[in-house]
């Protein structure tokens, strides 16, 4: 497996898994507007994943399509950071997860528009325009929840405590991240981290929420070692293709 | 038929055919009005290459648009053609033609303002939008995401009608 293939999977799987999670809200969101909002963000994320996974298939060169890659891989072959697969919880927890990942994708894509890999640069330039709207939506909600009622504040803070440890993995640079940065394919994660951190601090301050401390993490979704939640998500997402192989619209 | 002399006419016929293809989500506009056709040019082997770009990466209309374009081109008598998808440069709401903007307004959708180039721009976009029906500036945002990825949902407090607004990207 080439480095580029694995790296593109990390990006594509992050979008796909988060998009699938958001899709679970369809028909269940607290209000019709939020149903629409979450579904629209999910749609954009799945769209990004299609572009990325199609590219991964080309890089791999074994003739796998975006659908083969999405529907026919085992959970250990998924390379998304563990944060994306964490359950929706209540609306507050979904919004916290969304803010953390939207801000990550924003800072990553903004810098990837000048990637030496032209295809990734094009996908990043296209995606970042949508990601800005995702973050405006999620951060807007986090401020309303954090700076809202006692109940909404407490729930948002507790979701933040719960999900914060997973953010460490987003920025933990391993040899693959390093090699992509050295080749000019991806930005340095330390740079993305610094920008993300400033942005998140601004949002948390406005939301009157406390930033939890970073702790050493033991999550390695980026290497295919996932939490117990991903298997269930994939079982639902992949059910149709696994049960009726080759089924088409 | 002299292919060299004919190229210009084939290109212009292709544009005419594409200008008649409605957007499946906003049928008042054609795919040319929306700025989705990035180029029509003859390749060295005589095939006409038509470049289409998507508005949003997950827009479900993208594939319908491509098929409608192929159908329209197929019956336009322009000979061999191929429709390709281009991502870069990324589609911008600035590419909606003046004609397209006029049609949006008549259709009751507020056309986009200047495109957004940064997070700062997007945060500044929370502007008051006037109602396309009664022109009142007393409106509110109901949902940042509307019936399609490219629109947001607003409501007029004066005439009480909901309306959609094209997002600026």
Which candidate from B91, B149, B169 shows the least CB-CB separation from A43? B149
Instruction: State the Cα–Cα distance between residues A56 and A99, nearest whole angstrom.
Output: 26
Burial class (CB in 10 A: 0-12, 13-18, 19+), B45: exposed
The distance of B36 to chain A (nearest Cα, Å) reads 14
Note down pLDDT in tens along chain A; length 249 residues.
Answer: 799 999 999 999 999 999 999 999 999 999 999 999 999 999 999 999 999 999 999 999 999 999 999 999 999 999 999 999 999 999 999 999 999 999 999 999 999 999 999 999 999 999 999 999 999 999 999 999 999 999 999 999 999 999 999 999 999 999 999 999 999 999 999 999 999 999 999 999 999 999 999 988 788 999 999 999 999 999 999 999 999 998 887
Q: Specify whether the CB–CB gap between A156 and A97 falls below 8 A.
A: no
When pLDDT is averaged across residues B91-106 and rounded to a whole number, the result is 95
Q: Which chain B positions have a beta carbon within 8 Å of A44's beta carbon?
A: 56-58, 149
Element spanning B109, H or E: strand B109-110
Among chain A, residues having any CB pair with chain B shorter than 8 Å are 32-33, 36-37, 39-41, 43-48, 50-51, 106, 118, 121-123, 125-127, 129-130, 132-133, 135-137, 140
Reported as a pLDDT band with limits 50, 70 and 90, residue B5 is low
Instruction: State the Cα–Cα distance between residues A164 and A153, nearest whole angstrom.
Output: 16
Cross-chain residue pair B87–A126, CB shorter than 8 Å: yes
At B142, give phi and psi (nearest 5°): -90, -40
Q: Specify whether the CB–CB gap between B87 and A128 falls below 8 A.
A: no
Task: Report the DSSP pairing between strands B162-166 and B151-156.
Answer: antiparallel
End-to-end CA distance of chain B: 44
Reported as a pLDDT band with limits 50, 70 and 90, residue B3 is low
Distances (CA, A) of B6 to A33, A205, B16, B77: 52, 64, 15, 12
Min mean pLDDT across A88-97, A126-135, B106-115, B125-134 is at B125-134
Reported as a pLDDT band with limits 50, 70 and 90, residue B125 is confident
Residue of chain A whose Cα is closest to the Cα of B143: A33
End-to-end CA distance of chain A: 31
Cross-chain residue pair B119–A132, CB shorter than 8 Å: yes
B161, pLDDT greater than 80: yes
This model of the complex carries an ipTM of 0.90
At A8, give phi and psi (nearest 5°): -65, -35
Cross-chain residue pair A44–B56, CB shorter than 8 Å: yes
Q: pLDDT, tens digit, for every residue of B8-18? A: 999 999 999 99
The distance of A44 to chain B (nearest Cα, Å) reads 5
Model confidence, pTM:
0.95
A35, two tokens: 């149903």
């Amino acid at each position: 497996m080439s480095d580029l293939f694995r790296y593109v999977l990390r990006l594509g799987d992050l979008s796909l898994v988060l998009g699938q999670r958001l899709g679970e809200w369809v028909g269940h969101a607290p209000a019709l507007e939020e149903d629409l909002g979450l579904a629209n963000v999910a749609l954009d994320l799945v769209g990004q994943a299609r572009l990325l996974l199609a590219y991964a298939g080309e890089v791999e060169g074994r003739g796998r399509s975006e659908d083969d890659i999405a529907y026919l891989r085992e959970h250990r072959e998924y390379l998304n950071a563990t944060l994306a697969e964490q359950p929706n919880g209540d609306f507050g927890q979904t919004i916290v997860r969304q803010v953390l990942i939207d801000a990550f994708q924003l800072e990553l894509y903004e810098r990837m528009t000048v990637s030496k890999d032209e295809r990734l640069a094009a996908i990043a330039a296209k995606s970042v325009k949508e990601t800005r709207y995702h973050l405006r939506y999620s951060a807007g909600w986090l401020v309303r929840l954090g700076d809202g009622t006692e109940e909404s504040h407490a729930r948002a803070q507790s979701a933040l405590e719960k999900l914060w440890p997973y953010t460490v993995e987003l920025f933990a640079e391993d040899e693959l991240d390093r090699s992509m940065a050295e080749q000019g394919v991806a930005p340095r994660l330390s740079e993305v981290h610094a920008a993300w951190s400033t942005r998140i601090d601004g949002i948390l301050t406005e939301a009157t929420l406390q930033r939890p401390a970073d702790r050493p993490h033991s999550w390695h979704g980026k290497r295919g070692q996932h939490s117990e939640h991903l298997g269930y998500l994939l079982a639902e997402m992949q059910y149709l293709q696994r049960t009726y192989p080759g089924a088409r619209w | 038929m002299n292919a060299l002399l004919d190229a210009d006419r084939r290109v212009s016929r292709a544009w005419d055919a594409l200008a008649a293809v409605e957007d499946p989500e906003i049928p008042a506009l054609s795919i040319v009005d929306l700025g989705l056709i990035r180029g029509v040019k003859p390749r060295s082997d005589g095939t006409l290459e038509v470049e289409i770009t998507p508005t949003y990466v997950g827009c479900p209309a993208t594939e319908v648009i491509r098929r409608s374009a192929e159908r329209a081109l197929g019956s336009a008598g322009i000979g061999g053609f191929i429709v390709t998808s281009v991502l870069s440069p990324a589609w911008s709401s600035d590419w909606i033609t003046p004609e397209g903007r006029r049609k949006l307004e008549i259709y009751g959708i507020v056309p986009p303002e200047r495109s957004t180039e940064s997070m700062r721009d997007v945060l500044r976009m929370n502007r008051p939008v006037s109602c396309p029906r009664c022109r009142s500036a007393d409106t509110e945002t109901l949902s940042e995401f509307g019936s399609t990825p490219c629109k947001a949902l607003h409501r007029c407090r004066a005439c009480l009608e909901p309306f959609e607004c094209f997002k600026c990207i």
